[in-house]
Amino acid sequence: MSSQQLTWLKAPRPDCGKNVMRAFAMLAAACSVKAEAQAPVSVTPVAAGQARVWFYRAFFPEDTGGMPAVAMNGKTVGYARAGWSFYRDVPAGAYHVTVESFIQDPSQAKDIVLAPGQQIDLAIQSDPGWISNLGGFRRGTYYVGTEPARIAEIHLSQTQFGDGY
């Protein structure tokens, strides 16, 4: 390299420092913005003689847009919307929990027995590929299921709380 080329490489660039400082300032500003935390849900305690059933449906992009009806002992108690959760307080006792589905499968329902004061988390699980074709046609196939407590806790925290309707 000639001395002229070396001089050019060593010469300070007047705008370089300003651009670097601007970039750092923008990065610092972006990092200082805090994500809005979802307000905690205010939930009343379970009344004496009652039990609480939480229903939730985890969101995933490939899911259908359906909102299947959820029923306990044949009575609709709400609708399972992807990414949402809701609960129902019911008298302690035995319940047959079902979810509306295009395909009827005996393993889609869940039988539960609730003691007074007990809370249970039920996942409304979706299988959007069960009835589908290459043209994009899909029908919702849903199941009532339980998950390990830690997984249910994570999935519930990723949902928005609603009233089920």
pLDDT tens digit string along 78-87?
999 999 999 9
The tally of domains found in the chain comes to 1
- Residue 42 in any domain: the answer is no
In the numeric block, which tokens belong to residue 154? 């994570």
Q: What is the pTM of this model?
A: 0.71
pLDDT tens digit string along 111-153?
999 999 999 999 999 887 666 666 666 677 899 999 998 999 9
SS (H, E, C) the chain: CCHHHHHHHHCCCHHHHHHHHHHHHHHHHHHHCCCCCCCCCCCCCCCCCEEEEEEEECCCCCCCCCCCEEEECCEEEEECCCCEEEEEEEECEEEEEEECCCCCCHHHCEEEEECCCCEEEEEEEECCCCEECCCCCEECCEEEECCCHHHHHHHHHCCEECCCC
Q: How much is the pLDDT for 64? A: 78
- Residue 71 in any domain: the answer is yes
- Residue 54 in any domain: the answer is yes
Res 60 pLDDT > 70: yes
pLDDT tens digit string along 64-104?
778 999 999 999 999 999 999 999 999 999 999 999 988 78
- Residue 121 in any domain: the answer is yes
CATH number at residue 90: 2.60.40
Q: How much is the pLDDT for 90? A: 98
Domain range for 68 is 50-161
Cα–Cα dist 45/89, whole Å: 10
- Residue 77 in any domain: the answer is yes
- Residue 56 in any domain: the answer is yes
Q: How much is the pLDDT for 4? A: 53
